[in-house]
Structure 1
Amino acid sequence: MKRTAKVVSLALGLCCSFLLVSCSQAASTNSSFTESPLPGGGIQIPHNERIHLSTDQQWISSEGHLSDLIRLQWTGDRAKPAISWANEKGEDKTAIISHEKANNAEQHDHKHLSIETTMSPTGKNAGELFTRFEVPYDVDTAEIRTHSSNFNVMDGILRVAGEPDTNRDLQFSKSEQGNVTTPRWGIRADSASEGGGNAGSNLQIVRYSDSGEVMDSPLYISRSNGNVGVGASDPQTKLDVDDNSVRIRQSFTPASSTSPGVQGEVAWDEKYVYVCVAPNTWKRTELSSW
């Protein structure tokens, strides 16, 4: 009870102090509070006057989060407290909004904070504020989303980090109604333990089924030696294919045994298989039917 009285007293004191200071400033500048000319009206602080808020409190739940110097609260079922920015014509251009439910009662609950900006002035929804970035609440893991946006990292790093022995994934997914997403492909630094010698945290391309379940990793790269596995999760050579054939689609016939070539190149035509055994040095073996 004493704590509640202290909080109420402090809140009233802050409000009174703010009003006294604002009124004093208004008097000193020969100005006063007026009705806002923006849509919806409201109280307008004298032009070019600033609000300075400060605190020595901590963000502690048991004490009522006393350091939240601005608190916006919704008191209606579909109310949406917001902070918005308007241009010189009074038109809203950007906003930060937090709310529980959508305007349309038929839509699922939003339960998120959103950063919104206007759509193109020449587009279908000209001037309409649209969610570009949203962070949900009441969840242990927030599914942060962007909408109709491109994400650019300029002169920096886009990083996916994680604890040891965990997968770190970048997924490409299919979106469905209600913001449901189902993975199709993933780029993964896997959970293989890092035991020294550059081992562990190997790179995989992960393939998912229609239901979003992992099917396999068709491409695997070992971090310790750079070996690449196609369908193989433990590649033993620079290219290790876990299948019974490898296809070279295009035929090629070296003009002569000294045609330009790099050691290790392989080619074929209807009569021969060619192997470049040294720079510009080819050998061939004849093909026959059986």
Structure 2
Amino acid sequence: MKTLKTVSLIILSLSLIYLGGCQSSSASKQASSGSRTLAFQKSPLPGGGLAFPHNERIHLSTDQKWIAEEGHLSDLIRLQWTAERAKPAISWADEKGIDKTAIVSHDKANDPEQQDHKHISIETTMSPEGEYKDQLFTRFEIPYDTDVSEIRTHSSNFNVMDGILRVAGEGNRDLQFAKTGENNATTPLWSLRADSSELTGDNAGGNFHVVRYSDEGEALASAIFVNRNDGRVGIGTNEPQSQLDVNGDSLAIRESKTPASSKAPGNKGDIAWDENYIYVCVDKDTWKRTELSSW
């Protein structure tokens, strides 16, 4: 990304504050720090600008609060765009001077035909062997000028290593699966939900749902419901009356099975069927059966 003139001037000002003063000459701008005299040089990177002396550092500190009425005096670095499609950025380049990562905030897209971006983004380069070699690409973006910020990732996988991915709150807590449309609009298809039912003690409230949605994104029903209090599971019902309550007129076990004998391996509660019998395991390795007949 090209270094903006505004950003260069801001960095220069901060550098001079750190160094404690400056001197000018036709060849360079110089600043004095202690007993050393340090010279600014022209940046060799694309776009030019000023280069701070190699291996030197800027130390910024403040005792001011972040107060809007006072002009946010504690914002020690402020990058401003002065044209609607300008994009002030902080970028990191490799040893060859090629930008590899950047943090960018801007209002308008480069292409006037695109909708306004209005976001801050973290960008990294695409694959060096791919179609968009060395191009910076938005991986993570946080929009502004909105009460609820739709944070997005692009061409990115999200991994939690030895930690917790948590959705917390007092309302419905959803992990949603959706389809995308124009201008990054989304339409939900499924949600995993801990609902907003009141937490009344005795493990009650905050029940679990698998919610399905219509093509228009309207919630249809909970395909699966689990009561947190007693663990009862409802299929097609949010009020299961037994450990598994199916709100339907059939239950299918697709594969047949014939126990070898009444002492065949099995666990209490196992059910099996074949063309002639229904088998129920009533105790460990203990089966009983009932004959099937046509009518």
Same fold (TM over 0.5): yes
Percent of aligned positions with the same letter in both sequences?
Answer: 64
Output the CA distance in 1 between the equivalents of 2:104 and 2:203.
Answer: 46
Output the CA distance in 2 between the equivalents of 1:59 and 1:227.
Answer: 51
**Residues 98 and 183 of structure 1: CA distance in aligned 2, closer, same or farther (over 3 Å):** same
Determine whether 1:182 maps to 2:182: no
Q: 1:212 aligns with which of 207, 210, 217?
A: 217
Superposition map of 1:1-290 within 5 A: 17-18=17-18, 20-21=20-21, 23-25=31-33, 28-163=35-170, 166-290=171-295
Q: Which residue of 1 aligns with 2:7?
A: none
CA apart distance, 1:20:
3.3
Output the CA distance in 1 between the equivalents of 2:121 and 2:129.
Answer: 24
CA deviations on 1:220-277 (whole Å, 9 max, x unpaired) are: 1111111111111011221111111111101111121111111111111111111111
SS in 2 for 1:24: strand
Output the CA distance in 1 between the equivalents of 2:14 and 2:130.
Answer: 46
CA deviations on 1:83-130 (whole Å, 9 max, x unpaired) are: 000011110000000000110110000000000000000011011000
Output the CA distance in 2 between the equivalents of 1:56 and 1:265.
Answer: 70
SS in 1 for 2:39: coil
Which segments of structure 1 move beyond 2 Å, counting only runs of 4 or more?
Answer: 13-22, 27-31
Q: Which residue of 2 aligns with 1:8?
A: none
SS in 2 for 1:110: coil
| Aligned CA-pair RMSD | 1.6
CA deviations on 1:127-185 (whole Å, 9 max, x unpaired) are: 1000000000000000000000000111111000002xx10000011011211111101
CA apart distance, 1:18:
4.2
CA apart distance, 1:44:
1.0
**Residues 14 and 269 of structure 1: CA distance in aligned 2, closer, same or farther (over 3 Å):** closer
State the one-letter code of the partner of 1:168.
R
Output the CA distance in 2 between the equivalents of 1:101 and 1:147.
Answer: 19
State the one-letter code of the partner of 1:148.
S
Output the CA distance in 2 between the equivalents of 1:282 and 1:71.
Answer: 77
CA deviations on 1:189-239 (whole Å, 9 max, x unpaired) are: 001111111000011000011111100001011111111111110112211
State the one-letter code of the partner of 1:171.
Q
Output the CA distance in 1 between the equivalents of 2:36 and 2:179.
Answer: 59
Output the CA distance in 1 between the equivalents of 2:77 and 2:45.
Answer: 21
Q: Which has the higher helix share?
A: 1
Output the CA distance in 2 between the equivalents of 1:219 and 1:205.
Answer: 5
SS in 2 for 1:233: coil
Output the CA distance in 2 between the equivalents of 1:15 and 1:35.
Answer: 14
Output the CA distance in 1 between the equivalents of 2:291 and 2:107.
Answer: 75
State the one-letter code of the partner of 2:270.
E
State the one-letter code of the partner of 2:226.
I
Structure 1 gap segments, 5+ residues each: 1-12
Which deviates further from its counterpart, 107-116 or 174-183?
174-183
Output the CA distance in 2 between the equivalents of 1:177 and 1:191.
Answer: 31
Structure 2 gap segments, 5+ residues each: 1-12, 23-30
Q: Which residue of 2 aligns with 1:5?
A: none
Q: Which residue of 1 aligns with 2:27?
A: none
Output the CA distance in 2 between the equivalents of 1:238 and 1:73.
Answer: 61
CA apart distance, 1:17:
3.7
